[in-house]
Amino acid sequence: MKLVVAVTGGIGSGKSTAAKLFETLGAGLVDTDAIAQQLTLPGQQAIERIRKRFGDGYIDAQGALDRTRMRGLVFSDPLAKHDLEAILHPLIRAEAMARVARVRAPYALLVVPLLIETGGYRDLASRVLVIDCSERVQIERTMQRSGLTEAQTRAIIASQASREQRLSAANDIIDNNSGLAELAEQVKALHARYTVLANVA
């Protein structure tokens, strides 16, 4: 059985950066956020279902999901959030499973930002890796990267699983409170460990 490591962490924790470092070392990378973005491009599987449920106003001029407008809706309307997830989650999971099966690397990294919140994907993963940092670092990184205000960023953090919930579910933890060099060292060490575990599996 292939070793599959589910990677999660709160917004601004550095999941994507860590995952790319693992990939450069030879891990197979499957990112559910990237899959979600691809599924909502023009002509892709989810678009017509989204149009039917939410209307043309949530599809942009190119025929893709208007992510900014949809984000505003689902953040304020729990039913809309539920309906969007009901459309996307089965499609994302099916594609993620197919991609994991195609991985030829020693092990697969499955990046699932809301792993703890949804409870999904745990059955596909051998281990859970949490990318962890303080709330202050989360806020600073998110504001710098996305242009969100501190209040908006705090609202997103509050809507996600708590740091304690994520850490309690972890088999492995990377502390990403410092710089890229420190992150890379921890990734390198875990990559070596996962490669050994993959050979044993």
Domain boundary among 104, 130, 160: 104
Is residue 111 included in any domain, yes or no? yes
Is residue 11 included in any domain, yes or no? yes
Exposed e or buried b for every residue in 23-36, given b needs 16+ CB within 10 A?
Answer: bebebbbbbbebbb
Same domain, 159 and 139: yes
> Between vectors from CA 190 to CA 187 and to CA 196, what angle results, nearest 5°?
140
Residues contacting residue 134 through CB under 8 Å, at least 6 positions apart: 177
Same domain, 167 and 118: yes
Contact, 123 vs 81, CB < 8 A?
no
Same domain, 38 and 80: yes
Is residue 201 included in any domain, yes or no? no
Same domain, 160 and 132: yes
Is residue 16 included in any domain, yes or no? yes
Same domain, 159 and 173: yes
Same domain, 113 and 190: yes
| Domain tally, the chain | 2
CA dihedral 193, 30, 182, 146 (to 10 degrees): -160
Domain that holds residue 134: 1-27+106-196
pLDDT of residue 201: 53
The Cα–Cα gap between 18 and 194 comes to: 14
pLDDT of residue 106: 94
The Cα–Cα gap between 141 and 153 comes to: 10
| 7: CATH | 3.40.50.300
Indicate the residue type of 93. R
Residues contacting residue 85 through CB under 8 Å, at least 6 positions apart: none
pLDDT of residue 22: 98
Residues of the chain where predicted confidence (pLDDT) is lower than 70: 201
The helix/strand/coil state of 169 is: coil
| 4: enclosing H helix or E strand | strand 3-8
Domain boundary among 68, 89, 104: 104
